[in-house]
Amino acid sequence: MNRFTTRVRAQASMVELRDFLPSVIAVPRLHARLVNTLSRMEYIGVRKMLKARHADLLDEAGLQHIIEEASHALRLKRAAIKLNGGRQLGVQNYSEADTLAGPSGEEYMQGVDRACEALLAPVELDGPERSEANYLLSTAAIEIRADAFYPVYEECLQEAEAGFSVNAILKDELRHLQEMQQSLEVCLPGNWSVMVARAVEAETACFEGWLASIRRAARESLEQVEA
Ligand SMILES: [Fe+2]
Ligand SMILES: [Fe+2]
């Protein structure tokens, strides 16, 4: 999986992200809404796992994954409240007003899911296996992005002395990616890496859409502040 992460880290969109993040981090109330969007995306990850995974295939690592993604959502929510001056009002829920382009976080996750479903359509799998394969493939693509995204974000947080760190989240995401690889090798023997390459390609388009939405929402909010 390392080669995929290395490739994603070198994408132009990641350079764009590195240039863009400091402008949001510099405005704590705007930053709080971005962190709340990230929290929403972690929460969607939990919801997807709960829906997609069949009890017959759910093991200890699967339960731990659910708990850890939920804890990422909570940790980011608390960071958002802290950045919001300790007030819940403004980052209380995942509505559009309380997030930064929150619905685009939902679109990103659904987009990756749909793309993986299409990639798996020609593969012969029974019901629970198909759902499991989709979970593994879409999670792998999203974890690869997380493993590229969080180090860039961490660097920007440290630089700005923003008062919190995402290193603990990153550590979990790196382990999740290893687990996805091990399970994909069993679930899609022979062609798992080709499938991951295609899933990453589809995910990249979804991420670019997400980043464009976040940038637009940040620009509009900053213009409102200045007006
Ligand atoms: Fe996570
Ligand atoms: Fe994860």
Query: What integer is the mean pLDDT of 213-219?
Result: 96
What's the CATH number where 50 sits?
1.20.910
pLDDT attached to residue 222: 86
Tell me what percent of the residues of the chain surpass a pLDDT of 70.
100
Query: What integer is the mean pLDDT of 134-158?
Result: 97
pLDDT attached to residue 37: 98
User: Rounded to two decimals, what is the model's pTM?
Assistant: 0.95
Between the CA of 40 and the centroid of ligand 1 the distance, in Å, is 10
Quick: pLDDT tens for 78-131: 999 999 999 999 999 999 999 999 999 999 999 999 999 999 999 998 878 999
Between the CA of 10 and the centroid of ligand 1 the distance, in Å, is 21
Quick: pLDDT tens for 168-198: 999 999 999 999 999 999 998 889 999 999 9
Range of the domain at 134: 2-226
HEC profile of 44-59: HHHHHHHHHCCHHHCC
Report how many domains make up the chain.
Answer: 1
pLDDT band at residue 148 under the 50/70/90 scheme: very high
Query: How many whole angstroms separate alpha carbon 46 and alpha carbon 65?
Result: 8
Quick check: 192 and 158 in contact, CB under 8 A?
no
Helix axes of 127-160 and 2-9: crossing angle, nearest 10 degrees: 50
Q: CB count, 10 Å around CB of 15? A: 12
Between the CA of 205 and the centroid of ligand 2 the distance, in Å, is 20
Which ligand has the nearest atom to the CA of 76?
1
Question: Any idea of the CA torsion for 69, 37, 116, 206, to the nearest 10 degrees?
Answer: -150
Between the CA of 173 and the centroid of ligand 1 the distance, in Å, is 6
- ∠ CA 159-165-171, rounded to 5°: 120
| 224 vs 40 pLDDT, higher one | 40
